[in-house]
Amino acid sequence: MRMRRISIGLVGLVLAGSVASAQSLAPKDWDANVRLATAVDRNPDPHILEIDLTARVAEVEITPGKRVKAWTYDGGLPGPLIRATVGDRVIVHFVNQLPQPTTVHWHGIRVPIEMDGVPGISQPEVKLGESFTYDFIVRDAGLFWYHPHVMSAAQVGFGLYGPLLVDDPNDGVNVADETTLVLSDIGFNKSGELDNPNSGGIAGMFFGREGEYLLVNGKNRPVLKARAGAPQRWRIVNTAKSRFFYLDLEGQKFHVIGSDGGLQERPVSTDLLLITPGERMDVIVTPTGKPGSTLVLRAMLYNRGYGSVEYRMVEDVLSVELTKEPAVTNVKLPNVTREIAAPSAAGATPLTLTLTLNALEDLSSEFRVNGAPFWEAKPYTAKIGETQMWIVKNESEWDHPFHLHGFFFLVLDDKGEPVRPLAWKDTVNIEMKTTMRLLVKFDERPGEWMFHCHILDHADGGLMGTVLVGDVKPSTHVHTKGR
């Protein structure tokens, strides 16, 4: 069941006096500083991508001279770019060489439940020296990512994440200069070791720990080159365990053409781009300015709860160096559109999820969904093919980027109508003290699927749950605290 996407507009047309952007306009090696290692396909079948992926500790250099032992996939930070074409079969021979058990979760991919990477629910933990083979079809084009689902806050914070890009060669975007940008952060203590994942105790848990170094493809403040006026397509994912990226490119427009589940109904332009943990954005940027000058992409302050704007500063994320070549003018941006069939909200089964932060007698706190932290929660249920309206009420003083495994949803407005332009999401920020309605149609894949806050300290602090889709038994595993 591949979703249909139709592109119309000026795609690929060369108009009098203008340049088609399908040809590269960027300077040579424009993205060399952020280029990702790509997973090597060892299967000759063009429709099967078969790779090896090993989790291991490795030394990485995040800025010249600053080296650290991180937890990595295949020795890199981030892990290799896994690049497939929509409809391909992806086989990943995963080996764990870490001192802790782990799994791989394929964030946003509509995998069968056996491939979802959740220990105790969909597979056993992969212990040191053990392996597991993931095998699934990538049904949807878009940028996805992979990360562990064991001690997630710690393991993701240590460096375990990587991008999975599913191309649609006929997506009609026709911007030749395309790059994938993995945004994250990492922190060290005074002796240069990775920050303790429990630093700051309970306050660290409810704030959501951030690392002090901002990273783009594993590098602190890297450089992209551009020719003024020439469009670039940036596929961005925020893999940080807690940090929100609220991006500003010196006031220049981000032309947003898609998000989590691929292209959206039509583009929107914005000069500030919010990407919360787990989310993806597909944007076209057309840097303008005096040839030879430099633009800085900055992370602006965003209030996601106490401590996120207080005593904080705007930070540089990357710089865009404009070459001395004369600016390109008259590049027509393609009008990238997609027909999205919204499930009907009328008759959708409502499910209310109230998110709270509760103080405990021992002076600690836990997050709860409808009064229960994850380790006491009962699963919710859905039928195969059922459409549900999830009414997510955030009663806490913290924002929560809410993520559902395995299925996309549409965000509804206050009247219960899908927000336009329509965009498939699997992660959406529920601002503090607000309610958001999400419309989700469960397809033919039964299983026990997770939902949780993607501030992974919040997830580990209780803000997780599961939904049983179809006629399946709830897992008998014990929901341990801190998992």
Using the minimum distance from each CB to ligand C2O, give the nearer residue, 297 or 453: 453
Q: Binding of Cu ion at residue 400 (CB under 5 A)?
A: yes
81, 455, 464, 468: which one binds Cu ion (CB under 5 A) = 455
What's the closest the beta carbon of residue 365 comes to Cu ion, in angstroms? 13
What's the closest the beta carbon of residue 408 comes to ligand C2O, in angstroms? 14
What's the closest the beta carbon of residue 225 comes to Cu ion, in angstroms? 37
What's the closest the beta carbon of residue 274 comes to Cu ion, in angstroms? 15
The enclosing H or E element of 459 equals helix 456-460
Q: Dihedral of CA 258/235/262/156: which sign?
A: negative
CA distances from 297 to 221, 229, 285, 317 (A): 9, 16, 11, 5
Q: Binding of Cu ion at residue 280 (CB under 5 A)?
A: no
Q: Binding of ligand C2O at residue 425 (CB under 6 A)?
A: no
Given a contact cutoff of 8 angstroms between Cβ atoms, the answer to whether 463 and 374 are in contact is: yes
Q: Binding of ligand C2O at residue 218 (CB under 6 A)?
A: no
Q: Binding of ligand C2O at residue 278 (CB under 6 A)?
A: yes
What's the closest the beta carbon of residue 278 comes to ligand C2O, in angstroms? 5
Using the minimum distance from each CB to Cu ion, give the nearer residue, 448 or 460: 460
323's tokens: 């070459």
Closest-CA residue to 365 (of 397, 328, 388):
397
Q: How many residues bind ligand C2O (CB under 6 A)?
A: 10
Residue 450 partner contact from Cu ion, ligand C2O, none using kind-dependent CB cut-offs of 5 to 8 Å: ligand C2O
Q: Binding of ligand C2O at residue 105 (CB under 6 A)?
A: yes
221, 405, 437, 458: which one binds ligand C2O (CB under 6 A) = 405
DSSP for 112-172 reads -GGGS--BTTTB--B-TT-EEEEEEE--S-EEEEEE--SSHHHHHHTT--EEEEEE-TTS-
191's tokens: 């002796």
Instruction: Give CA–CA dist 73/79, Å, rounded.
Output: 5
Instruction: Give CA–CA dist 57/284, Å, rounded.
Output: 35
What's the closest the beta carbon of residue 280 comes to ligand C2O, in angstroms? 11
Given a contact cutoff of 8 angstroms between Cβ atoms, the answer to whether 183 and 216 are in contact is: yes
Q: Binding of Cu ion at residue 332 (CB under 5 A)?
A: no
Using the minimum distance from each CB to Cu ion, give the nearer residue, 82 or 154: 154
Interface contacts to Cu ion, rule CB under 5 A: 400, 453, 455, 458
